[in-house]
Amino acid sequence: EDKVVQSPLSLVVHEGDTVTLNCSYEVTNFRSLLWYKQEKKAPTFLFMLTSSGIEKKSGRLSSILDKKELFSILNITATQTGDSAVYLCAVGRSYNTDKLIFGTGTRLQVFP
Amino acid sequence: GAVVSQHPSWVICKSGTSVKIECRSLDFQATTMFWYRQFPKQSLMLMATSNEGSKATYEQGVEKDKFLINHASLTLSTLTVTSAHPEDSSFYICSAKDPLAKNIQYFGAGTRLSVL
């Protein structure tokens, strides 16, 4: 059965800390891995990763994929209170390219 | 990124009534939209895939007659919760796939349904 597992489930840090969120997967016919940030309502798209070893970066956020070891990490440096959210990892397959398999998410709380 | 609008954001209804939720892609045409359900502190659970001009594809365990999906145009999909019961109370989120961005789904803001 395909599955996506995120760790830790929750994380509490102080502003300025650096955090690493993990996503491991067991999915047949892997095509892509996506990261989303969900605050109170809609998940917003962060990154899509398809190739191993190529870092994607946007401001203080970066992510990388390891297709050999079947995982991805999402790094947030110099965290701010606005980074507080649930971070969702999702995997798409090469067949049935429409569906995404979501992990349970990591809840990040950043305190001043 | 692409913009997806979902309406209403919150609805309260009596048990036994039906509720319609709309999902619109505002700046792109979406041949495929998705409906998810999310319980508190849990991840997104896919309910069905909505395809423009054809019948929706439901996930295992989701009642087709309970959750009616219509995707009549390239920018609009609707989910109707029929004969709602308190156990249907949940957060429903739609997403739309941008055909110009492979596998990236853009999400609506969600609808919180409370059935009394």
Q: Using CA coordinates, name the residue in chain B closest to A39.
A: B109
Q: Specify the DSSP class assigned to residue B69.
A: E
Contact B104, A48 (CB under 8 A): yes
**Partners of residue B46 in chain A, C-beta under 8 Å:** 99-100, 102
Q: What is the pLDDT of residues B4-62, one digit of tens each?
A: 999 999 999 999 999 999 999 998 888 899 999 998 878 889 999 988 888 899 999 99
**In Å, how far from its chain's centre is CA A31?**
15
Facing B97 at nearest CB: one of A31, A98, A103:
A98
CA distance A86 to A34: 14
Q: What is the pLDDT of residues A37-55, one digit of tens each?
A: 998 778 999 999 998 888 9
CA distance A102 to A12: 22
Cis upstream peptide for A43 (omega within 30°): no
Residue B82: exposure state from Cβ atoms within 10 A (0-12, 13-18, ≥19): middle
CA distance A87 to A64: 15
In which band, very low, low, confident or very high, does the pLDDT at A2 lie, cut at 50, 70 and 90?
A: confident
What pLDDT was estimated at residue A97?
Answer: 62
What pLDDT was estimated at residue A5?
Answer: 95
How near does any CA of chain A get to the CA of B66, in Å? 22
What pLDDT was estimated at residue B51?
Answer: 86
Q: For all residues of chain A together, what is the average pLDDT? A: 92
Whether residue A63 is predicted with pLDDT greater than 70 in this model: the reply is yes
Q: What is the pLDDT of residues A68-102, one digit of tens each?
A: 999 999 999 999 999 999 999 999 887 666 788 99
Residue A54: exposure state from Cβ atoms within 10 A (0-12, 13-18, ≥19): exposed
